[in-house]
Structure 1
Amino acid sequence: MKKLVGWGALFVVLAAIVGLPWLMLDDAPAVEPPSQFRRADLAWIKSLFEKHDPRGQTPGVVQTVQLDEADLNRLLNYAVELRRVSGIAAELDPGVATLTATLTVPSLCPSGCTPFGRYLNLTAEVVEVPGGVRIDSLQLGSLPLPGALADWTARLAHRWLRRDPTYAALSDAVVRIGFGENQATLDYRWQPELLTRIERKSAELLIAPDDQARMLAYAERLDALLKHHPRGSTVPLVNVTAPLFDHALQAGADARGENRAAITALAAYLAGISLPRLLEGDSHSIRRAPPVLLSLHGRRDFAEHFVISAALSVNGGSRLANAIGLVKEEEDASKGSGFSFTDLANDRAGVRLGQRAVGDAADRVRQQLALAHTDDALLPDFRDLPEFMPQAEFDRRFGPVGSPRYERIIERIDARLAAHPLTR
């Protein structure tokens, strides 16, 4: 009899092991991935950050962010793009948020076959309670879990995560999370040093240790190349790219990794970010003004557009890099310097360089950059393109973005890039 009970228990366990994936995994995603970010989406996210930029907040004062359901989902989809989650969405009701996420499950064989579904769909009901929120229910595919178990697991994970100082500081900054009809509210109390903590934690999580070491080596090499120039002087970009990428040639066989590290270090310098402070230091800020400025075809803004777009491309994706470049130019048309096809051309050139630098042409790009000794070797001269146009002038001359007149200029830019040895 005891043997029978033992075999019965073993059968139940085996059935659970085999059956749970059938219940948890689905053939179709509950949330479709976002198809494409529009320029308006990126502009909205940028304006949201600028509105709530913690560097402009009074320390210790409670601030509030309110988002309706559409905007919250737009923000969540932006996170999906960066974190490569398949899809995520929220529905907001008074006191309750229903969160649904879809994760793509890795296949079990090289051909992509799997005996179960391809998607793990998770749905959680999160309710507002005094002093915080509680998971009221959780479902993995067709498998419901007791709400008490899900909430206990989440609280256990929260206590474990609080061992990390950055997570603990972020958690302590949150005063209240609330849900209303089609609206989510976050009350937070910001402290100035928290932004630097978040930046450092992001770098720690997103940049592998080997890549961090490479970036620091290129940052050190760049500082050594520029330290002999007077502070505040301007140096042609090509004067540093050639020795930097000559170093990359000597560094080893991983052309893609070396290219990514060198371009990222160069972009961080131009953006005023100290990689040693970001990856190693404990100072209150990771920012520093570049002691020596860099130029391309005699223009500092050209160097910035070209290199920073290349860095966005090697680290994130050319579609996002292109969109960010265009967002900036459309904003400049209504305020600031105006719309410049010159800047847009440099953005597109940087995106192409980034694509090639971490693609099949990585080793050839490394050699070309190591041998570049003139501005023309880095980039076509786009100074003949229209620039500094206020919105009214841009509309009069070219119409809306995407119009035939606008596209003719883009075709001219792309034709020059297609003919250039570094970006074709």
Structure 2
Amino acid sequence: MKRLLIWLLGCLLLPLLIVLATLERAPLVSRSESISPASIAEAKRLLANNDPRRLQRGDQRTASIPAPLIDEAINHLVSRSLHGRGTFALAEETAEIRISVPVPGLAGYRYWNLRAQLQEAEGEPRIVAASLANLPVPSRLAEFCLNSAIGLAGFSDEWRAARQLIRKLAFEPARGVVEVSYVWEPGVLAHARARAFPPEDIASMAAAQKALAAQLDHYSARARVPLGQVLSGLLAAAASGEATLRQRRAALLVLASYLAEKNLAVLIPEARLWPRPRRLKLILLGRYDSAQHFAVSAALAAWAGEPAANAIGLYKEVEDSRGGSGFSFADLAADRAGTRFGELVAEGSSRLDVALRGSLGDSDLAPSLDGLPEALSEAEFQRRYGGRDNPAYRQLLSEIERRLAALPLYR
């Protein structure tokens, strides 16, 4: 009996000792969680070239996915789900994923560092080598752990569907892309939509759109309505407890869709039956465009996180400088204010709860736009600010952050 107890104790302690032995002092991957505007542009191009709405069952396509886009996507997912960092790099006929995950509550050795080498193949990619710290991990065990982690994250169905679609994977380091050949199955899109918007979210969005339509019916057709009034009414109506986040996120998405003049039925077919809010001018700091930027960024931050919201906002300004309304630091300020507001919603901030007991005014939501340059062409922007690492550009961004930090809601 004593030997049996020792054996059982050893079986229980051995995995723990192995796990502790694989902890390291420094992360293998150290980078920010930001997303570049270039990646947003590439994702937009990929979606346009592989628009699922134009594909029929059985259509065969090959998508060229830039390695930097995969790299930033992996880093974003690891940051959001594990609070870690990740990278992706190509080599001849192989690719390597590196992930560093912090382990809370431990001093000294407090990072798990994982390497996994993938090999191109017919069908899904295969892990041919892996290691945790300096400990080699058998390929089959690595694949099992990967599938288990995806399952624990709640994406097992999506992972299974994606594996069924992929027919061939090829790494092209000279071109810096991964070639993915796939056969389209419409059920994947329906499943992804159901995953992104479960029934309780759709019900919350339907209620938010009904509430928005009812609010706007109280104003005359030519009214210029302060965004804060509408936002306060939509968010304050959310219930307490776990439903609060769902209802407030739904309200932000409905409001962003309204201000962007996009029909939610493109994403959610049921929205065709929802009441249509009348078209009015919602304004922030006296401007319709500021209200648009604020609402869209708030919805993005609440649903996808701050890095995605910041990257999309900056991408939009870069595009505007190339023939639109021009690069605008004032728009960036409204974007950043919206992002900060969306973060408060996602965090369930008590400061936001307190603010919603009163009324939200312009000065509560966004900083002054005075002195922030606007309508800059691409050539003028390059001449004056050079790029994202230029000191003059960084100084203006710091000024925007300083103004935001002075607002009680965002302290």
Alignment of 1:48-127 (within 5 A): 48-53=42-47, 54-55=50-51, 58-60=54-56, 61-67=59-65, 72-105=70-103, 107=104, 112-113=105-106, 118-127=110-119
**Larger deviation, residues 216-225 vs 337-346:** 216-225
Q: 1:221 aligns with which of 211, 216, 234?
A: 211
**AA of the residue aligned to 1:49:** A
TM-score (norm 2): 0.73
Aligned length: 399
- Could you list the runs of 5+ residues in structure 1 that have no partner in the other structure? none
Alignment pair present for 1:247 and 2:237 = yes
Q: Which amino acid aligns with 1:394?
A: F
Alpha-carbon spacing, 1:158–1:273, altered in 2? closer, same or farther (3 Å): same
Q: Which has the larger radius of gyration?
A: 1
Deviation of 1:337 after TM superposition, in Å, equals 1.7
CA separation of 1:350 and 1:147: change in aligned 2, threshold 3 A = closer
Amino acid of the structure 1 residue aligned with 2:11 = A
Q: Contact 2:93–2:170 (CA<8 Å) still a contact in 1?
A: yes
SS of the counterpart of 2:36?
Answer: helix
Counterpart in 2 of 1:15? 10
Kindly state the Cα deviation for residue 172 of structure 1 after the two structures are TM-superposed. 3.3
Which residue of structure 1 aligns with residue 357 of structure 2? Answer: 367
Note closer, same or farther for the CA distance 1:22–1:276 as it changes in structure 2 (3 Å cut). Answer: farther
User: Which residue of the other structure, out of 31, 35, 48, is the alignment partner of 1:34?
Assistant: 31
Match of 1:310 among 288, 294, 298: 298
Q: Is the 8 A contact 2:255 2:295 kept in 1?
A: yes
Q: How far off is 1:341 after superposition?
A: 2.6
**1:202 is matched with which residue?**
196
Residue 333 in 1 paired to residue 339 in 2?
A: no
Q: In the aligned structure 2, how far is the partner of 1:222 from the partner of 1:267? A: 12
Matched residues in 1 for 2:234 and 2:151: separation? 45
The aligned counterpart of 1:292 is 279
Q: Deviations over 1:337-372 (max 9, x none)?
A: 21123212212332343455544522232124xx24
The alpha-carbon deviation at position 45 of structure 1 amounts to 1.4
For the 8 Å contact 1:176–1:186, the answer to whether it is kept is yes
Show CA shifts across 1:74-103 (max 9, x none): 442233233335233345444444444333
8 Å CA contact retained: 1:310, 1:354: yes
Which amino acid in structure 2 is aligned with residue 31 of structure 1?
A: L
Kindly tell me: are residues 359 and 287 of structure 1, through their superposed partners in 2, closer, same or farther at Cα, counting changes over 3 Å?
same
Cα distance in 2, alignment partners of residues 81 and 57 from structure 1: 30
Question: Do the aligned partners of 1:26 and 1:141 also contact (CA within 8 Å) in 2?
Answer: yes
Are the equivalent residues in 2 in contact too, given 1:104–1:119 (CA < 8 A)?
A: yes
Does the Cα contact within 8 Å between 1:97 and 1:127 map onto a contact in 2? Answer: yes
Backbone CA RMSD of aligned residues: 4.8
Query: 1:160, CA displacement in angstroms?
Result: 12
Q: Quick one: structure 1 residues 187 and 232, their matched pair in 2 at CA, closer, same or farther if it must change by over 3 Å? A: farther
Unpaired segments ≥5 residues, structure 2: none
Q: Is the CA contact 1:138–1:147 (under 8 Å) kept in the aligned structure 2? A: yes
Q: Which position in structure 2 is the counterpart of 1:394?
A: 381
CA separation of 1:28/1:62 partners in 2, compared to 1, >3 Å: closer, same or farther? farther
- Measure the CA separation in 2 of the matches of 1:133 and 1:412: 46
Correspondence for 2:164: 172
Distance 2:375 2:162 in 1: 41
In 2 relative to 1, CA 23–336 (structure 1 residues): closer, same or farther, beyond 3 Å?
A: same
Output the CA distance in 1 between the equivalents of 2:210 and 2:303. Answer: 20
Separation in structure 1 between the aligned mates of residue 133 and residue 145 of structure 2, nearest angstrom: 18
Distance (whole Å) between structure 1 residues aligned to residue 312 and residue 220 of structure 2: 33
Distance 1:311 1:20 in 2: 43
Residue aligned with 1:176, SS: strand
1:58 to 1:18, Cα distance in 2 relative to 1, 3 A: same
Aligned equivalent of 1:237: 227
Q: Write the letter of the residue equivalent to 1:20.
A: P
Report which stretch shifted further, 228-237 or 320-329.
Answer: 228-237
Shift of the alpha carbon at 1:305? 0.6
TM-score computed with the length of structure 1 as normaliser: 0.71
Contact preservation (8 Å) 2:33, 2:85: no
How much identity, in percent, do the aligned residues show?
30
